[in-house]
Amino acid sequence: MAAQPSDHLDLHGLDGSTFHITPAELKAMPHKTISVFNAHIKKQESYSGVPLTDLLLKVHAPVGTALKGKLFATGVLAEGTDGYTVLYSIAEVDPVMHTGDVIVADTVNGQPLTTTGAFQLINTEDKRPARWVRNLDSITVIPVDTK
């Protein structure tokens, strides 16, 4: 069964805060364009979208200078409409800590996303796109139990 195309994105913070965003609202936000090699189709692609940390700030996530100490044991779960879920550490998505880019894309090669829903999570640093999430509809900041 094919995944239902995503038509919104819900973010959930550590403090219980939530943020709901539509494709039109994401399109109106400042975008970043990245170039990545898509190993599934074996070609270079250009994605444009909003840096994940910009969205995480909407739910008071500890990114940027706020990320220190025990907050390094924080995760970011990204889930698609088909239930596919990936986990990032908060430091992997924070440009203050990591050189790669993680964006919530809404276009590929200058065209709106279609078959992958309205939103797709893209990461420039993974060697293969296994943690790219198509039909992205939920991002949750979670504490990681280190005991």
What tens digit of pLDDT does each residue of 109-144 get?
Answer: 999 998 889 999 999 998 888 999 999 999 999 988
Q: Cα–Cα distance between 105 and 128 in angstroms, integer?
A: 17
Q: Is 2 a residue whose pLDDT tops 70?
A: no
Quick one: which H or E segment has residue 27? helix 23-27
39 pLDDT tier (thresholds 50, 70, 90): confident
Q: Is 146 a residue whose pLDDT tops 70?
A: no
Provide the pLDDT for residue 73: 86
pLDDT digits (tens, 9 = 90+) for 14-35: 999 999 999 999 999 999 999 9
The CATH architecture that domain 9-143 belongs to is Alpha-Beta Complex (3.90)
